[in-house]
């Protein structure tokens, strides 16, 4: 009898673990279908349900904060009720491992056949893959002009590079963002004083004004027992976002590796071997990297845009407030940015227009977002005004006003030419050369590994061209 009970227990638990992997979808799709009766009564063109695809609650909190039609949000955060009786249904899938894109692609491919209330109305994309969705042949994101937005007039105050990023190859803008992501150099004041004798942002800026000077400063830091950056991945965006040609030219099946990428590889190898990086950190977004942002760490600086300081560094920092400062990086760069698109085929054109305008083009709203969250928003005049202030209160930076540094960087950003293959290229080149930096493989093997990996990821790529 005892045996029987135990064996049944075992069977039950194994069965449970077998099925544990399955039922994850319930939370993401359960929101539909309840209000269809109400929608049928409404005879207008505009649907009652606005489906927004995104990967976290950032956009929702922004909408709740500034969109004037928001009435309330359900406790589980899946539905936001608007004052005009419509509902925003949030369909959230994590960005990791391409899950978000998988689900979104599937929904967009089914867009034509989906019932009006199930159609994707608004979706978000990140700079790394925005081009995939703004592609004019794919035509999944509506041109803003078709929504009734006058790009030149309504979005006049947006930073130009954000408009370029969200445009297709003909220059038709198909998305808009509320944030610009100029990156800065964020450094630890205590380490700066210890190694350089000063924590003044102006002097630190001079020490990192270009890569050659930065290398000398790195040597100084090393002598004092510190690492300049956490890992080679940290500097990637500075090089990677200043490439002169896109990874893959339109209509081509060849990946062209830019000279800037080769510079990154050479410099990183040199820096790594010289001991300027924390040897325990490999790449980003892992535990070791997070630890490098803690007070026990010997890492001097991180290269981050506004969101990095607020979302990534803050949760990992366990020291006192105001221990960090920002200054200008060796190269101006942009990292990230979430774009809002209206999906082709949406039945909520008026709402989409309204949301895009209020969230990404309304100066008061954007200023409010910046003031409450320290996010750098996409409005030149509002940002210029914030940059003028002498002090700005934040946990990480104390009273230093980071906007004074963000704003000039943002003005100077020239976005690297985009292609639909960017995400894979950026991710795989870092992976492949990680082994090279660690000394596991030689340079040629790392190149070969990148070629293998990129052709696996994108079956239509036939060749990889390396600069001489």
Partner 1 sequence: MVMKKKRKNISYAKWGYIFILPFFVSFFIFSCIPLVDTIKYSFFEYYRSGIKEVGPNFIGLTNYIELIKSDMVLYGANTLILWIIGFVPQIVIALVLAAWFTDARLKIKGLQFFKVVIYLPNLIMASAFALLFFTMFSTGGPINSILLSLGVIDKAIDFTGSVFGVRSLIGFMNFLMWFGNTTIMLMAAVMGISVEVFEASDIDGCNRIQRFFYVTLPQIRPILAYTLITSIIGGLQMFDVPQILTNGKGSPDRTSMTLIMFLNNHLKSKNYGMGGALSVYLFIISGILCAIVYKMTNDDDPDGSKAAAKARKKEQRKNRRAK
> Using CB under 8 A as the criterion, which residues of the chain lie in contact with partner 1 when the complex forms?
2-3, 6, 10, 13-14, 17, 20-21, 97-98, 105, 108-109, 132-133, 135, 137-138, 140, 279-282, 286-288, 291, 420, 431, 434-435, 438, 440-441, 445, 449, 452-453, 456-460
Closest to 430 (Cα-Cα) out of 151, 205, 231, 201: 231
Sequence-ordered alpha helix ranges (H) in 178-327: 189-196, 201-207, 211-223, 236-240, 259-274, 287-291, 306-307, 314-316
Q: Of the two residues 17 and 391, which places its CB atom closer to partner 1 in the complex?
A: 17
Least distance between partner 1 and beta carbon 220 (Å): 24
Q: Of the two residues 138 and 384, which places its CB atom closer to partner 1 in the complex?
A: 138
Least distance between partner 1 and beta carbon 126 (Å): 15
Please give the C-alpha separations between residue 304 and each of 31, 134, 157, 267, 329, in angstroms, as whole numbers: 36, 26, 24, 19, 9
Least distance between partner 1 and beta carbon 91 (Å): 17
Angle at 101 between CA 304 and CA 426, to 5 degrees: 45
DSSP H or E segment with residue 73: strand 70-73
Q: Of the two residues 107 and 397, which places its CB atom closer to partner 1 in the complex?
A: 107
Alpha-carbon gap, residue 460 to 180, rounded angstroms: 32
Tokens 């000039």 — which residue? 408
Least distance between partner 1 and beta carbon 6 (Å): 6
Buried b (16+ CB within 10 A) or exposed e, 221-255: bbeeebbbbbbbbbbbbbbbbbbeebbbeeebeeb
Q: Of the two residues 258 and 278, which places its CB atom closer to partner 1 in the complex?
A: 278
Least distance between partner 1 and beta carbon 173 (Å): 18
Q: Of the two residues 108 and 147, which places its CB atom closer to partner 1 in the complex?
A: 108
Question: Could you tell me if 185 and 325 are in contact, meaning their C-beta atoms sit under 8 angstroms apart?
Answer: no
Least distance between partner 1 and beta carbon 121 (Å): 17
Least distance between partner 1 and beta carbon 274 (Å): 18
Q: Of the two residues 14 and 388, which places its CB atom closer to partner 1 in the complex?
A: 14
Q: Of the two residues 46 and 427, which places its CB atom closer to partner 1 in the complex?
A: 427
Helix axes 58-66, 349-360, angle to 10 degrees: 90
């Amino acid at each position: 009898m005892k045996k029987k009970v135990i064996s049944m227990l075992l069977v039950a638990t194994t069965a449970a673990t077998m099925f544990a992997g399955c039922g994850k979808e319930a939370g993401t799709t359960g929101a539909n279908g309840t209000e269809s009766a109400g929608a049928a009564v409404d005879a207008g063109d505009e649907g009652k349900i606005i489906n927004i695809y995104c990967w976290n609650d950032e956009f929702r909190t922004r909408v709740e904060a500034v969109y004037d039609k928001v009435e309330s949000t359900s406790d589980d955060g899946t539905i936001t009720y608007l004052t005009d009786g419509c509902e925003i249904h949030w369909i959230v899938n994590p960005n990791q491992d391409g899950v978000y894109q998988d689900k979104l692609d599937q929904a967009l491919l089914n867009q034509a056949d989906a019932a009006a209330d199930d159609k994707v109305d608004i979706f978000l994309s990140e700079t790394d893959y925005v081009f995939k969705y703004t592609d004019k042949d794919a035509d999944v994101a509506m041109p803003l002009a078709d929504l009734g937005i006058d790009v030149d007039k309504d979005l006049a105050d947006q930073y130009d590079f954000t408009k370029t990023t969200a445009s297709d190859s003909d220059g038709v803008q198909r998305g808009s963002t509320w944030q610009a992501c100029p990156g800065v150099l964020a450094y630890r004041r205590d380490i700066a004083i210890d190694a350089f004798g000063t924590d003044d942002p102006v002097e630190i800026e001079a020490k990192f004004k270009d890569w050659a000077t930065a290398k000398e400063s790195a040597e100084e830091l090393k002598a004092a027992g510190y690492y300049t950056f956490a890992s080679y991945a940290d500097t990637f965006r500075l090089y990677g976002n200043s490439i002169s040609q896109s990874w893959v030219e339109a209509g081509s099946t060849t990946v062209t590796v830019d000279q800037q990428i080769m510079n990154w590889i050479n410099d990183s190898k040199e820096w790594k071997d010289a001991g300027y990086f924390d040897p325990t950190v490999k790449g980003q977004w892992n535990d070791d990297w997070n630890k490098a942002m803690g007070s026990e760490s010997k890492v001097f600086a991180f290269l981050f845009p506004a969101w990095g300081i607020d979302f990534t560094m803050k949760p990992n920092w366990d020291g006192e407030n105001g221990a960090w400062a920002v200054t200008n990086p060796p190269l101006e760069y942009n990292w990230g940015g979430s774009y809002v698109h209206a999906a082709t085929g949406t039945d909520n054109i008026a709402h989409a227009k309204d949301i895009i305008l209020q969230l990404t083009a309304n100066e008061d709203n954007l200023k409010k977002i910046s003031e409450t969250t320290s996010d750098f928003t996409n409005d030149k005049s509002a940002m210029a005004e914030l940059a003028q202030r002498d002090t700005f209160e934040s946990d990480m930076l104390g009273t230093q006003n980071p906007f004074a540094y963000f704003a000039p960087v943002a003005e100077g950003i020239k976005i690297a030419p985009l292609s639909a293959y960017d995400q894979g290229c950026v991710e795989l080149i870092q992976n492949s050369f990680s082994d090279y930096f660690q000394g596991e493989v030689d340079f040629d093997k790392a190149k070969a590994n990148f070629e293998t990996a990129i052709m696996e990821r994108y079956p239509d790529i036939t060749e990889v061209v390396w600069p001489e």
